[in-house]
Amino acid sequence: MYATMTTKILVVDDEPWVVQAVRSYLEDAHFEVFSAYDGAEALMQFDRHAPDLIILDWMLPELDGISVAKRIRKTSNVPIIMLTAKVEEDDRIEGLETGADDYVVKPFSARELEARVRAVLRRSAGKTTPVLEVGALRLDPTQRQVSADGEPVELTAMEFDLLAFLMTHPGRVFTRLELLEAVRGETYESFERSVDSHIKRLRQKIEPDPHAPRFVLTVFGVGYKLSKEAGG
């Protein structure tokens, strides 16, 4: 459903064998694949081909994956899956805070990567559901558009899905694991802090004062909820 020849994926890694292995597997799965081997080339290929998803290695020569992701996020919300050999939680959180939608730790199986690709594409695909309006927030699931106080807001796929889920249940409190299950379809206890990172970035984009939020509220010791008034 999500893998067609019109679904374009950019694979970026400085190890040619990794690029070739991933490319071969994804092409067999009927994706259209482009490749790059360093950060500068990745940005050039991104501008040239406008991919639907980017698989991006963290440790690239000269311009690393984090820097590439930051530059892309200035102009695009294209889904990004980070590849990393870093296993420390703080490193993973840094990648998510940069705007990555998911990450895969090396070594990984091609099958696992394809599953992550499909999951991220599902999350970023438009859903045929009504426009959501809660207070000063408006979210159009089909157009993937959000506005706060009438001003358009650019969100990553994960941020969008978190906000959409919370807006579907205003006033209800959700734990981090419940939010992960809702937007990813699975729960990963080790990823709980990633929810905090996404909520932090979301608040920076939709809240007039991220340090005193009026839309997405913290319920200490439990999790998060969307204010029923949402600033309205």
Are the C-beta atoms of residues 83 and 108 closer than 8 Å to each other? yes
pLDDT at 86: 65
pLDDT at 153: 92
The token duo for 10 is 């950019």
pLDDT at 231: 55
Cα–Cα distance for residue pair 32/3, rounded to 1 Å = 9
Are the C-beta atoms of residues 201 and 154 closer than 8 Å to each other? no
pLDDT at 10: 96
3-state DSSP assignment of residue 226: strand
Cα–Cα distance for residue pair 124/115, rounded to 1 Å = 14
Q: Where are the CATH 3.40.50.2300 domain residues in the chain?
A: 8-124
List of the chain residues with pLDDT < 70 = 1-6, 86-97, 125-129, 184-192, 230-232
Q: Where are the CATH 1.10.10.10 domain residues in the chain?
A: 132-226
pLDDT at 127: 45
pLDDT at 75: 79
Are the C-beta atoms of residues 211 and 203 closer than 8 Å to each other? no
Q: What is the pLDDT of residues 59-101, one digit of tens each?
A: 898 899 989 998 888 778 788 998 887 656 666 666 666 778 8
Q: Which CATH class is domain 132-226?
A: mainly alpha
Q: Which CATH class is domain 8-124?
A: alpha beta
The token duo for 223 is 């999790």
